[in-house]
Amino acid sequence: MTPVLRSGVIAAVAALIADQAVKLWLLFVLDIGRLGAVRVTPFFDLVLAWNTGISYGWFQNDSPTGAAILLAIKAVAVVLLAIWMARSHTRMATIGLGLIIGGAIGNAIDRFAYGAVVDFALFHVQIGGKTFSWYVFNLADVAIVAGVIALLYDSFFGAPAVKAP
């Protein structure tokens, strides 16, 4: 395994372990389901949201068939991303792909184990008496977004030789 590929594998494993460890702690140690919302700061709460859909709760589906289809799509995506990562030549792109893979596997484990993805992070702000909230998300989602940002950064600012035909 090349050092560049190793960095992507380490990123994937780190994202997966961090995601699953936090979710397990929230579910079984803190018992977030019993507590409900836990205010951490004036703008951040820990909550429990079971996401049966995909990103941002799109395509909500509670059926076992729907969950199986989403798992199958995710498995194909992870395999394709792993092939891309194995062929990548830049550390930034490889780490970005590793983060996406680790996050995707973390959410897939939730879907397999619980039938839904465990989301828990809620940012909000109060302006003029109204509360505005962001979507509830988890560390796997953060890893996926960071991975996409790394890929975009590498695409726009990476070594020109890598982009040459």
Query: Residue 126, Cα to own-chain centre: how many angstroms?
Result: 27
Q: How far apart are CA 55 and CA 58, in angstroms?
A: 6
Residue type (1 letter), 114: Y
Catalytic hit among 45, 110, 141, 154: 141
| Strands (DSSP E) found in the chain | 38-41, 44-51, 117-127, 130-133
137 beta partners: 121
Of these residues, 19, 45, 110, 119, which one is catalytic? 119
Q: How many CA atoms lie within 13 A of 21 on its CB side?
A: 7
141 counts as catalytic: yes
Question: Which are the catalytic amino acids?
Answer: 119, 141
